[in-house]
Amino acid sequence: MNTDSRVPPRDEVVLRYLLERRAAEDPERVFVVFDGGPVWTRGELLEQVRRTAAQLQSLGVGQNDHVVCWLPNGPEMMRFWFAINYLGAVFVPINTAYRGGVLSHVLDNADAEVLVGAAELIPRIDEAGSPERLRRVIQVGGTERCSLEGPDVVTVDEIAETQHVLVEPAEPVEPWHTQAIYYTSGTTGPSKGVLCSYMQSWAGFSPQAMPFLTRDDRFLINMPAFHVGGSTLVYAMLVNGGSVAVTARFSGENFWRQIRESDSTAVFLLGVMAQFVERRAPAPDDARNPLRTVFTSPLIDDVAGFAQRFGVDVYTIYNMTELSAPIVSGPNPTLRGTCGKVRAGVEVRLVDEADREVPIGDVGEIVVRTDAPWTVTHGYYRMPEATAKAWRNGWFHTGDSARRDAEGNFFFVDRLKDAIRRRGENISSMEVENEILAHPKVREAAVVAVPGEISEDEVLAIVSPVPGETIDPVELIRFLEPRMAHYMVPRYVRFLSELPKTPTAKIQKNVLREAALTEDTWDREKSGITISR
């Protein structure tokens, strides 16, 4: 019996029991609308999940087993994900862009005997070298069965014919059990499998943490399920009694069509997504839409203008795969660059390299701990050293830096690995990027460090112009000069039509750093442009 009031009952937290509860409450209420696809009520979703769970069980999947899902957003991803958790097994979604050595590492690390994969992706398993533990691949789509050297391949149509009576889990699925393993991008080393419990998924988006998300909301999911910005928000709406609209991916061109056709009231816009929406040509019907709530991370510059133009409330948030949304803003924050204040149930400190708290206003690493158990990751799977490094002195170390004002507002500065040091000064790449993005002809921007001739770093800005526009690097520098400290003004500028991105729309700074100073990179100093102090 649970006697800890900080841990809610199973049917408020654990997917299996929560789904059954929602279906029993109102089986005809719509839970998910797929863009260009079916609409499932709560009752229909439960029926799909139970049928799929029986099929997985017939293949030997049981409680606590790891099952890899290598699928794009859509009905197949949702029913297999929910079915995996319905059995008490562990959902392991992986990036649909994986191939080669990265794919080999992740499949080996995941310890899964069964993989559910899209037909067009499955041949990459042989190319990467199938791990010995993987014994069965369930093929989704395709006109012919894929052939692999190691594991057997069975199609979804074949397992749909399986007659199997669903057997209940041997033990109840508990809030502290592992729900999922999410793999981080691994830009500084091998991708790490982040262990996430049901409690962690629940804590950041429960009614207590996000009271403005209600049963009347429909959240547009435009992030992939292998990213917590996709899957956790689906779970959040199950927790809050609302519904979701699922799209294959974010599309600036189709965004408002998807919002209106799905009657979505809430959306999360990560990074450049918000810029695409904001820079769309104004239209008379901009505010005539069902949207009420927009999360952006990082916070857009003109919050008031965005809120008024589209008739929405804007929120921002600080989160990462390992956490449960510890910092959240109120509606329409007026402080530029804030990521909000610490929510109830969480402690956040900013510390130096010795874990000493830094003074208010100074930059320090964000470290986190929570009041309730299991609401932060319980480790990196099969990576004890990485787990120990992150969990030091009783606090989870994020690897992110921020500063805080006297009122408790936090301002994200940078990933520690992305920080730039030039002329004895520390530079936030994000702050430089924000000023570059203020230029009307700039569509996207990324700032990275490149080695200086003597020591420390020089600043390289990689800029993507608005389609049809050309940017003069001298004019860009003159635009930036009055907007930032002299040492922050980029020395180098390179123009690309499109910046390299991950499938979750994050700019791949590691790729840009590796390319460094290409032949087409403009050098301010060689052009004779000086910056006054």
Q: Which domain-ending residue is among 139, 154, 183? A: 183
Q: Provide the CATH number for the domain around residue 296.
A: 3.40.50.12780
What is the percent of the chain where pLDDT is above 70? 97
Q: Is residue 140 part of a domain?
A: yes
Residue 188 has pLDDT above 60, yes or no: no
Length of the chain counted residue by residue:
533
Residue 189 has pLDDT above 70, yes or no: no
Higher pLDDT pick, 439 / 420? 439
Q: Are residues 510 and 428 in the same domain?
A: yes
Contact yes or no for 316/295 (Cβ under 8 A): yes
What band does 187 get if pLDDT is binned at 50, 70 and 90? very low
What band does 243 get if pLDDT is binned at 50, 70 and 90? very high
Q: What is the pTM of this model?
A: 0.86
Q: Provide the CATH number for the domain around residue 500.
A: 3.30.300.30
Side by side, the strands of the sheet bearing 492-495 are 442-451, 457-465, 492-495, 522-523
Q: Is residue 343 part of a domain?
A: yes
**Residue holding tokens 């974010």?**
250
Mean pLDDT computed over 114-128: 95
Q: Which domain-ending residue is among 373, 398, 415? A: 415
Q: Are residues 476 and 347 in the same domain?
A: no
Q: Is residue 168 part of a domain?
A: yes
Residue 491 CA, chain-centre distance (Å), reads 32
Q: Are residues 238 and 360 in the same domain?
A: yes
The residue segments making up the domain with residue 233 are: 204-415
Count of the separate structural domains present in the chain: 3
What is the percent of the chain where pLDDT is above 90? 75
Q: Are residues 159 and 40 in the same domain?
A: yes
Q: Is residue 53 part of a domain?
A: yes
pLDDT tens figures, 53-62: 999 999 999 9
Q: Are residues 396 and 477 in the same domain?
A: no
| Residues β-bridged to residue 494 | 462
Cis peptide before 500 (omega within 30 of 0): no
Mean pLDDT computed over 89-94: 97
Q: Is residue 156 part of a domain?
A: yes
Q: Are residues 233 and 323 in the same domain?
A: yes
Q: Is residue 233 part of a domain?
A: yes
pLDDT at 190: 74
The DSSP secondary-structure symbol of 160 reads: H
Mean pLDDT computed over 186-200: 82
Q: Is residue 4 part of a domain?
A: no
Q: Are residues 393 and 433 in the same domain?
A: no
Q: Are residues 347 and 251 in the same domain?
A: yes
Q: Provide the CATH number for the domain around residue 61.
A: 3.40.50.980
Q: Are residues 220 and 179 in the same domain?
A: no
Q: Are residues 457 and 474 in the same domain?
A: yes
Q: Are residues 377 and 481 in the same domain?
A: no
pLDDT tens figures, 317-375: 999 999 999 999 999 999 999 999 999 999 999 999 999 999 999 999 999 999 999 99
Mean pLDDT computed over 87-93: 98
Mean pLDDT computed over 241-250: 96
Mean pLDDT over the full length of the chain: 92
User: Taking the CA of residue 353 as centre, how many other CA atoms within 13 Å lie in the half-sphere pointing to its CB?
Assistant: 1
Q: Is residue 78 part of a domain?
A: yes
pLDDT tens figures, 471-517: 999 999 999 988 887 888 999 999 999 998 865 567 888 889 888 89
Residue 431 has pLDDT above 60, yes or no: yes
Q: Are residues 405 and 478 in the same domain?
A: no
